[in-house]
């Protein structure tokens, strides 16, 4: 009875909020009416699996009896630390963080939890000869998995550990508690795999320094949403917090504070390993030649700006005409390639301001000598081309912002081009893929832009492949990223601004193209948000309502 009253009150509040929004005019966002039944037939699954069948039959789980174990048929046995740690982690989530709400309605078909059979084990089977226990995830990692929940043993099967990690998250989302605090799970069959291979979150640690703890919490939340790439925009104009082994003066002079606001080698290794254990790649971005005002710790790297014939005392982008520039870049790239194990580095290449280059007489002379005339895009491409050759020599792949492609730099066939300009997004996707380049989409998912109301809906309704192109072109779009730039974000508000808004992006990148029912998404996302809150993530609310376990800090 209490639950029925709660649902009625919630429904009335939703309707009241809609009426107020309508009467107040365009200053308030209109919130669509929601049905009084806030239960989805898919429970609180997020992102929604590709194929899922949930039956009314219920099984009990006992914290004393239930275990997550390797199956006898698995090629990954005890000693596969990435799975052993995940087993312990998800056991704790299941029994301390399961949703205290019935996912399929109270007592399906009159079933009572007191009369159900007990589920004793979740057996995890890895089928590949090499389960990849000691490796890092790659762009080609297989994250597919299958789950069969039947009494007395549930089965989770995947080719590698990466699929098993995604399946463990899904299984944890299937478990819930009834009014007697009994842990329950429905008989379920799931066959699942991500729609897109690259599902990223970008964090900016230059405009505001983010403590290591906050980054680790974000990685944990990313795993709850099946993201698999941490795009670490680690340095930019405001600060250089990365403590280079080769060039320690970069952080000593470029960080907000040379001791408290830096990422040491140990910090970086902790973050990479924490991400690996959750199936998340760490791709660092060292954006050049622009966005480098904090790189002042390296002498003669930035371009001196002139006011007429005199030095102005200001500096512009990296100086592309000096041989010492490329010696420096070569050494830095070697270090980055050693520190960060992923096959890719993000090289930036966006928003280069040419005014300082134009003012510098040495650069003007170089332009004439090279036959560039007054087209400074050619000078930018000259720099980018040299950097790309350096990265290639260090056996790394690279990602770039779309300007590198737009300015006709000679990029490798396996270059990943990131499309970020919303104004020409569809046309850009068509051009980049027509040229044969792998592409990821960021333009519609800049989460630093906020507005009143449920803006998660606009992120959710994006279709990444909605552009003019052949089937072959659309196969080149391998995913996208939710980007949280840091002008107004630090440790105090990162989690609430990121979640659950980024969750909308996660379902768009994981689930099928047909998964787009906003009402069903609202029901599941509301519960998923409460689950994140119970797991320690202060995700902001979608709309009016409450969680059984509110965030306590």
Residues acting as catalytic residues: 351
Instruction: Output DSSP code: residue 539.
Output: P
Q: What is the CA radius of gyration of the chain?
A: 25
| Residue 174 CB-half CA count within 13 A | 30
| Residue 381 CB-half CA count within 13 A | 17
Q: How far lies 6's CA from each of 9, 183, 293, 416, in Å?
A: 5, 22, 54, 49
Check: CB of residue 169 under 8 Å from CB of residue 226: yes
- End-to-end Cα separation, the chain, in angstroms: 31
Query: In 3-state terms, what secondary structure has residue 500?
Result: coil
> Which strand (E) or helix (H) includes residue 336?
helix 323-339
| Contacts for 211 with CB less than 8 Å, ≥ 6 apart | 491
**Gap between the Cα atoms of 47 and 292, Å rounded:** 37
Instruction: Output DSSP code: residue 423.
Output: G
> Which strand (E) or helix (H) includes residue 173?
helix 161-174
Token match 């096959």: residue? 343
Q: How remote is the C-alpha of 437 from its chain's centroid?
A: 22
Q: For strands 302-307 and 310-318, give the pairing.
A: antiparallel
Q: For strands 183-192 and 145-149, give the pairing.
A: antiparallel
**What is the CB neighbour count within 10 angstroms for residue 41?**
12
**Gap between the Cα atoms of 239 and 253, Å rounded:** 9
């Amino acid at each position: 009875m209490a639950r029925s009253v709660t649902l009625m009150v919630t429904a009335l509040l939703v309707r009241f909020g809609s009426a107020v929004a309508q009467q107040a005019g365009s200053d308030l966002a209109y919130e669509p009416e929601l049905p009084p039944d806030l239960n989805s037939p898919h429970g609180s699954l997020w992102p929604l699996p590709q194929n899922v069948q949930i039956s009314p039959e219920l099984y009990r789980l006992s914290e004393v009896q239930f275990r997550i174990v390797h199956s006898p048929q698995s090629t990954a046995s005890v000693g596969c630390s990435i799975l052993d740690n995940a087993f312990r982690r998800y056991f704790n989530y299941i029994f301390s963080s399961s949703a205290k709400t019935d996912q399929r309605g109270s007592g399906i078909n009159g079933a009572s939890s007191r009369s159900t059979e007990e589920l004793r084990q979740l057996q995890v089977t890895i089928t590949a000869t090499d389960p990849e226990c000691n490796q890092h995830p790659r762009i080609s990692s297989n994250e597919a998995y299958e789950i069969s929940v039947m009494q007395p043993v549930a089965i989770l099967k995947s080719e590698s550990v990466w699929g098993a990690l995604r399946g463990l998250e899904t299984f944890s989302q299937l478990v819930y508690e009834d009014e007697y605090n009994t842990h329950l799970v429905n008989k379920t069959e799931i066959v699942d795999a991500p729609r897109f291979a690259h599902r990223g979150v970008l964090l900016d640690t230059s405009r505001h320094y983010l403590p290591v703890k906050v980054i680790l919490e974000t990685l944990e939340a990313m795993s709850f949403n099946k993201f698999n790439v941490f795009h670490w925009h680690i340095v930019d104009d405001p600060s250089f917090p990365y403590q280079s082994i080769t060039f320690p003066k970069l952080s000593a002079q470029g960080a907000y504070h040379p001791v408290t606001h830096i990422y040491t080698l140990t910090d970086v290794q902790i973050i990479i390993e924490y991400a690996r254990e959750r199936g998340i790649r760490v791709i660092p971005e060292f954006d050049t030649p622009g966005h480098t005002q904090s790189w002042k710790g390296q002498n003669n790297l930035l371009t001196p700006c002139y006011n007429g014939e005199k030095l102005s005392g200001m500096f512009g982008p990296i100086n592309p005409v000096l041989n010492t520039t490329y010696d420096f870049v070569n050494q830095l790239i070697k270090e980055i390639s050693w520190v960060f194990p992923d096959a890719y580095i993000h090289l930036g290449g966006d928003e280069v301001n040419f005014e300082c280059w134009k003012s510098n007489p040495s650069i003007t002379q170089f332009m004439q000598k090279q036959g560039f005339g007054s087209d400074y895009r050619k000078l930018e491409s000259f720099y980018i081309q040299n950097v790309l050759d350096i990265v290639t020599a260090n056996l790394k792949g690279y990602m770039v912002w779309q300007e590198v492609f737009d300015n006709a730099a000679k990029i490798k066939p396996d270059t990943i081009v990131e499309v970020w300009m919303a104004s020409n997004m569809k046309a850009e996707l068509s051009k980049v893929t027509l040229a044969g380049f792998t592409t990821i989409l960021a333009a519609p998912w800049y989460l630093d832009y906020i507005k009143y109301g449920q803006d998660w809906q606009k992120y959710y309704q994006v279709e990444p492949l909605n552009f003019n192109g052949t089937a072959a072109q659309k196969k080149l779009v391998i995913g996208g990223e939710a980007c949280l730039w840091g002008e107004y974000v630090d440790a105090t508000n990162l989690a609430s601004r990121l979640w659950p808004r980024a969750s909308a992006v996660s379902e768009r990148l994981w689930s099928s193209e047909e998964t787009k029912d906003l009402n069903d998404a609202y029901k599941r996302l509301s519960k998923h948000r409460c689950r994140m809150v119970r797991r320690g993530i202060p995700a902001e609310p979608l709309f009016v309502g409450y969680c059984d376990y509110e965030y306590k800090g």
